[in-house]
Amino acid sequence: MVGKAEASRVRSRAASMLKRAGIALTVGEREAIEVADFGLSDLSHTGLELVVYVNTDRYCAKELVLFPGQTCPEHWHPPVGGKPGKMETFRCRWGIVYLYVPGKPAKKPKATPPRGREKAYTVWHEIVLKPGSQYTIPPNTLHWFQAGPKGAVVSEFSSTSHDESDYFQDRDIRRIPVIK
C-alpha cells in the first residue's frame, strides 16, 4: 500500500485535475479524496482516485480521476444481498478514457495493460469515451479502463456501490482498504 505522504501528493494532483475539469469540491471533499491502489503499490500504472458524492441504498454517484495512462483493473460487480450486481454509467467529463468490455476485440487497442499483469486483462472490446460521451455497464460484466495521455475525469452514476464485493481478475488485487 502506498504511504501517507504519497497518498497526500496523489490527492493534491487529483484535486488539480478536478479543478481543471471545472468540477467544484468542498475543502472536506478535497481532503478526503479516496486513493485506490488496489494493493499493488504502483499508482502510476494501476489506480484510481475517487470522490464519492453520495452512496445510498438506492443509488450512488462518484467522480473518478485517472492520471495519464492510469488503469482501473479488470473487475465485475456480482450480486450483493439478493440484489443484482452494481450497474454503472461512466460519463467522461474531461480527457479521454479507453474502456474495455466483452465483445469483438479491438484489432489495435489504444490501451496497454500494466506490464507484468497482462494475463488479468481478458476483455478487449474497446469504447473510447471523450468529454460528453458515456457508456452503461450492466451488472456482472467484466470491464476495465485506462486514461489517455492527459488523464481523465469521469462521472460515475450507478446503483448502490459495494466496492468491497467487487471481483478482480488479478488475484493480487485488494480493492479495500483505500488509503485515507
Q: Residues 42, 52, 125, 157: which binds its own copies (CB under 8 A)?
A: 157
For residue 155, state whether it binds its own copies (rule: CB under 8 A).
yes
Task: Tell me the DSSP string of 55-85.
Answer: E-SS-EEEEEEE-TT-EEEEEE---BTTBPP
For residue 134, state whether it binds its own copies (rule: CB under 8 A).
yes
3-class secondary structure, 30: helix
For residue 2, state whether it binds its own copies (rule: CB under 8 A).
no
**C-alpha to C-alpha distance for 136 and 146, rounded to whole angstroms:** 16
For residue 29, state whether it binds its own copies (rule: CB under 8 A).
yes
For residue 5, state whether it binds its own copies (rule: CB under 8 A).
no
Question: Minimal CA–CA distance to 103: which of 76, 154, 141?
Answer: 141
For residue 159, state whether it binds its own copies (rule: CB under 8 A).
yes
**Residue 73: other Cβ atoms inside 10 A:** 26
For residue 119, state whether it binds its own copies (rule: CB under 8 A).
no
Q: Which DSSP symbol is given to 8?
A: H
Closer CB to its own copies, 2 or 87, in the complex: 87
Q: Residues 1, 23, 52, 80: which binds its own copies (CB under 8 A)?
A: 23
Question: Minimal CA–CA distance to 86: which of 17, 167, 151?
Answer: 167
**C-alpha to C-alpha distance for 65 and 155, rounded to whole angstroms:** 9
**Residue 175: other Cβ atoms inside 10 A:** 17
**What single-letter amino acid sits at 90?**
F
Residue 101 CB, nearest distance to its own copies (Å)? 16
Binding mask 79-98 for its own copies (x = CB under 8 A): --------x-x-xxxx----
Closer CB to its own copies, 89 or 140, in the complex: 89
List of residues contacting its own copies (CB under 8 A): 21-26, 29, 53-54, 56, 58-61, 87, 89, 91-94, 131-134, 136, 155, 157-159
